[in-house]
Amino acid sequence: MKKEIKFSLVYRDMWQSSGKYVPRKDQLATIAPVIVDMGCFDRVETNGGASEQVNLLYGENPNQAVRTFTKTFNDANIKTHMLDRGLNALRMNPVPADVRQLMYKVKHAQGVDITRIFCGLNDPRNIIPSIKWAKQAGMTAQATMCMTYSAVHTAEYYINLAEVLIENGADEICLKDMAGIGRPAMLGTVVRAIKEKHPDIIIQYHGHSGPGFSTASMLEVAKAGCDVLDVAMEPLSWGMVHPDVITIQAMLKDAGFLVKDINMKAYMEARRLTQSFIDDFLGYWIDPRNSKMTSLLVGCGLPGGMMGSLMADLKGIHAAINSNLQKRGEKPLSEDELLVELFDEVKRIWPMLGTPCLVTPFSQYVKNAALMNLFSKSMGEKPFSRMDPAMWGMILGKSGKLPGELAPEIVELAKEKGFEFYTDDPQALYPDELPRFIKEMEELGWDRGQDDEELFEFAMHEKQYREYKSGLAKEQFNKDLLERMEKAQAGTAGAPVKHFTAADKRAILHPDAEAIEAPCGGKVLWDLDFNEKSTAPAHGKHYKEGEWLCAIQGARGVENIEAFCNGRIVGIEKQQGQVVAKGDVIGWMEADKK
């Protein structure tokens, strides 16, 4: 009987590995039924680490986005899964236990079936509580091992880790090869050993394409007994993302495995829709280099999912490093030369820092330390002289136990700074916080939401949630989008430069604004005391609903216009004294956020 291999579409991670943002709720609702129609997926990754935070960053409610996306798959009996960072839950820093526990109740209620629980240190203490809480909430607890290649991370290391996770209640095991540097033979050895002892445990493999091993790795783990493979689809497959389902399906079918057919008409429609999301706004945050694979990742082991932020960081510090080098009489570095130096520095310091798996947030910590070392070097300073508190937290054990040993010079540097190492359960450092958030929501009159989902979001992403509620997040996002659109227009070879009008900018910056229309023909009076100094109200001026806004002086007298909401002026189309016809737009008003 043929071994069946099932496919999971990692739609969240496709975007996460390409750029900063994920599609809007309406876009997710549009593509979900098309993904179902493709007919080849038993699972779809719908949400998790980073994606819900960036929803807030562009002014969208992540709870509504998750519910919208999961519903279609729930109705079609396709399992949905999320990415869960263990101690860090959905963010970059540790989360109190009561907030972590609430997450599983909320996400299960929102339609998420499986939670993929990982810890970049592979510390079981950070994973086991989540296994318990996920199962209590009715979710499938998929315990995850972060796969990498080092002297510490051997096949025996992972086989022993899997045993601990299964003994503590894991329903499934995921091999998360976040940088794609796991060697195919070793990955196959690990899967085979787990399956021999636990044949009923479902194993899922997740491997990025960056350094080029992923296709071979998928064939090896399939032969070893893996049950589910994570795949992507064009236009966001390969590069720093994941292999395309078409290639993997054909490879496995030829190798004698039972795999589902792909409805190519639906595939092409999903491809078209995904490209339309890129063209809409998401592409303005996608670095073109993320569409390319690079063997340079084999040595440094950095994950494809962080290459976008890495390139942005590199560009930000490139000029400063070259300025320092020139002051010292040294040759400046090209961006590619600096990139190679960064990769070499990551490779050098990684074992010195205890060999954490290079995955969020530890990949960022090690990358930042390497980047700061290059900057310090350009300044003539000693290495590791510019490490931030988050990096030190990892070194000192506040995020969990490091897989490897710290270099003596790192231990000595910690002692010089008066730091103490921590060996107890890291969760104990982060006391419960839900009562504080509940109290503030009551004081502000904020609804805790269906199944306490708004309470959860506030407690999980406090700063971003406040900015979402105030409207600041949307305003900042729209401003960034406009700047990127203008730069893209000005920098497109052979294309005309678009000059954005005030109306264009208003539409981008304030898409929710409503028109103030003239009720009759006549002169616009923003100020009834008409004189040469009379002007329209300043941008941002606030009005209460029913308050006098302006008037039109027509043939039969003056007709007043009142504010139709509590809100502010975000655009003026007609100035004081200008003649308008009935129905003309004389300005724009944006309602206050509720």
DSSP 87: G
569 DSSP β-pair partners: 589
Is 386 within the bounds of a domain? yes
- For residue 541, being part of any structural domain is answered with yes
> What confidence score (pLDDT) does residue 486 get?
84
Kindly state the DSSP code that residue 288 receives in the 8-state scheme.
Answer: G
Query: What CA–CA distance (Å, rounded) separates 227 from 122?
Result: 22
CB contact at 8 A, 92 and 388: no
pLDDT tens across 481-513, in order? 988 888 887 765 444 445 667 777 777 888 889
In a domain, 255, yes or no: no
Residue 1 has a pLDDT of 80
What percentage of the chain exceeds 70 in pLDDT? Answer: 96
User: Looking at the domain assignment, is residue 572 inside a domain?
Assistant: yes
| CA distance from start to end of the chain | 59
Residue with tokens 């719908």: 46
Average pLDDT, the chain: 93
Distance CA 582, CA 336 (A): 60
257-280: average pLDDT: 97
Same domain, residue pair 424 and 534: no
Same domain, 423 and 321: yes
Is residue 363 one of the residues assigned to a domain?
A: yes
Residues 423 and 324 reside in one and the same domain: yes
SS3 letters across 488-550? HHHHCCCCCCCCCCHHHHHHHHCCCCEEEECCCCEEEECCCCCCCCCCCCCCCCEECCCCEEE
Angle between helices 462-470 and 453-460 (to 10 degrees): 120
Tokens of 358: 């290079």
Model confidence at 391: pLDDT above 60: yes
Counting the structural domains of the chain, the total is 2
- Residue 148: which pLDDT band, with cuts at 50, 70 and 90? very high
- Please name the residue ranges forming H helices in 39-138: 51-57, 62-75, 97-109, 124-136
- pLDDT above 80 for 416: yes
DSSP letter at 405? Answer: P
Residue 173, Cβ neighbours under 10 Å: how many?
26
Does one domain contain both 407 and 522? no
- Write down which residue in 402, 428, 454 finishes a domain: 428
Residue 104 within any structural domain of the chain: no
Distance between CA 516 and CA 563 in Å, rounded?
Answer: 9
pLDDT tens for each residue of 282-309: 999 988 878 889 898 888 888 866 666 6
Sequence-separated (6 or more) residues with CB below 8 Å from residue 250: none
Owner of token pair 């229309």: 517
**533, pLDDT greater than 80:** no
Enclosing domain of residue 529: 511-591
User: Which region among 268-277, 429-438, 461-470, 505-514 has the lowest average model confidence (pLDDT)?
Assistant: 505-514
Residue 507, CA distances (Å) to 59, 490, 590, 594 in order:
16, 19, 11, 21
Q: Are strands 579-580 and 6-9 parallel, antiparallel or unpaired?
A: unpaired
The predicted structure's pLDDT at residue 495? 43
Report the pLDDT value the prediction gives residue 494, as an integer from 0 to 100: 42
Same domain, 423 and 545: no
The DSSP secondary structure of 430-452, one letter per residue, reads: S---HHHHHHHHHHHT----GGG
What is the arithmetic mean of pLDDT over 556-562?
92
pLDDT value of residue 524: 94
Q: Does position 372 have pLDDT exceeding 80, yes or no?
A: yes
Task: Tokens 């086989």: give the residue.
Answer: 159
Please answer whether residues 230 and 10 qualify as being in contact, where contact means their C-beta atoms are separated by less than 8 angstroms: yes
Q: Do 518 and 524 touch, CB atoms closer than 8 A?
A: yes
Task: Order across the sheet with 514-517: list the strands.
Answer: 514-517, 585-591, 567-572, 542-543
Which residues make beta-bridge pairs with 146?
176
Kindly report the length of the chain. Answer: 594
CA dist., res. 364 & res. 366, Å (int): 6
At residue 503, the pLDDT reads 74
- Hey, CA dihedral for 406, 408, 414, 415, is it positive or negative? positive
Residue 497 pLDDT = 47
Task: Identify whether 339 is part of a domain.
Answer: yes
Query: Is residue 420 located within the same domain as residue 537?
Result: no
Tell me phi and psi for residue 270, to 5 degrees.
-65, -35
Residue 360 to residue 306: CA distance in whole angstroms? 8
Say if residue 441's pLDDT is above 70.
yes
Name the percent of the chain lying above pLDDT 90.
74
What does the alpha-carbon distance between residue 93 and residue 87 come to, in Å, rounded to a whole number?
8
**Phi, psi for 561 (deg, rounded to 5):** -120, 125
What is the predicted pLDDT for the residue at 493? 41
Which pLDDT tens digit goes with each residue over 95-124?
Answer: 999 999 999 999 999 999 999 999 999 999
| Residue 381 within any structural domain of the chain | yes
Predicted pLDDT of residue 388? 87
Last residue of a domain, one of 374, 394, 428: 428
> What is the rounded distance in angstroms from the CA atom of residue 427 to the CA atom of residue 88?
10
Identify the domain boundary among 413, 428, 443: 428
Residue 149 in 3-state DSSP?
coil
Q: pTM of the predicted model, to two decimals?
A: 0.86
Helix axes 25-38, 62-75, angle to 10 degrees: 20
Cβ–Cβ under 8 Å, residues 374 and 94: no
Query: What is the Cα 439 distance to its own chain's centre?
Result: 29
Q: What are phi and psi of 148, to 5 degrees?
A: -150, -175
Which of 291-300, 430-439, 487-496, 526-535 is the most confident on average? 430-439
Residue owning tokens 């091992």 = 145
pLDDT value of position 287: 81
Per-residue pLDDT of 29-85, as tens digits, reads 999 999 999 999 999 999 998 899 999 999 999 999 999 999 999 999 999 999 999
Residue partners of 233: CB distance under 8 A and separation at least 6? 9, 14, 244, 245, 246, 267, 270, 271, 274
The confidence band for 245, taking pLDDT boundaries of 50, 70 and 90, is very high
Q: Which ranges of 379-433 does DSSP label H, i.e. alpha helix?
A: 389-395, 408-416
